[in-house]
Amino acid sequence: MNIFDSTMVFYVNSLSQHSLTFDNLMGYIAGNNMFKGGVLSIIIWRLWFTGKQSRPHGREYIISTIISCFVAIALARMLAVTLPFRLRPFHATGLNFVLPYGVNPNVLDGWSSFPSDHAVLFFTLSTGLLFLSSKIGVFALAYTALFIGFPRVYLGLHYPTDVIGGAVLGMSIGWFGNRYIVRNNVFRFAFRWLDARPGVLYPLFFILTYQIADLFDTSRGLLSGALELIQIMLT
């Protein structure tokens, strides 16, 4: 572990078990998807229907941001599986991490800490919002850092560099996605086709934003179940 992570974890963890209320609040925020993707998904829907963002060009940025989120979560999971395994702070022996009240020490056991898929996903989304509104984008970035990134460091789920690395990756995906996807003629043709068919567009839009709010947990569960079923059928 590098000196930056050890220093930051030491100072943040010094707050642990000082307040039952604060520890439980951090756990509730970190575990409640409404506080994470739900808030940002509500912002997406609002921008879709209000102001200059509701015009076709603004809606193109919204759809490209959602597409970028799919790329982001897929890349985050791929990196977590392929990069060298990294124990989470509350699993690391010798770190003397003081577990906050209410945290299950066995949660995410066997899951690598780097990068934070939460950070990758929601910094991608927040960066995309910058293309629609600088004020809303800055708010989303700050919200992601304070209410999604910080609780995960406080609870020992991630090191600071897990979140920072995820943020850099997510912001890069969000920036490149909105710079190049929107300019792609195939994307524009597909968007115009969908925009002319609200009966197709809105159910699809709902499912996509629901998956973002849910951190793709249900999609990953369906995929995992399908793979297990295929494996059983082949044996």
Q: Given this model, what pLDDT does residue 56 score? A: 64
Which of 74-78, 120-124, 143-147 is predicted with the least confidence, judged by mean pLDDT? 74-78
Burial 82-105 (b: 16+ CB within 10 A, else e): eeeebbbbbbbeebebebbeebee
Distance CA 138, CA 130 (A): 7
Provide the domain count of the chain.
Answer: 1
- What pLDDT score was predicted for residue 25? 93
- For residue 87, how many C-alpha atoms fall within 13 Å in the half-sphere facing its CB? 11
pLDDT per residue over 86-120, tens digit each?
A: 888 888 877 788 889 888 888 877 788 899 999 99
Residue 143 belongs to domain with CATH number: 1.20.144
Is 80 exceeded by the pLDDT of residue 202?
yes
Question: What is the domain range of residue 47?
Answer: 3-99+107-234
Query: What per-residue confidence (pLDDT) applies to 147?
Result: 93
- pLDDT per residue as tens digits for the range 215-234: 887 777 777 777 777 777 77
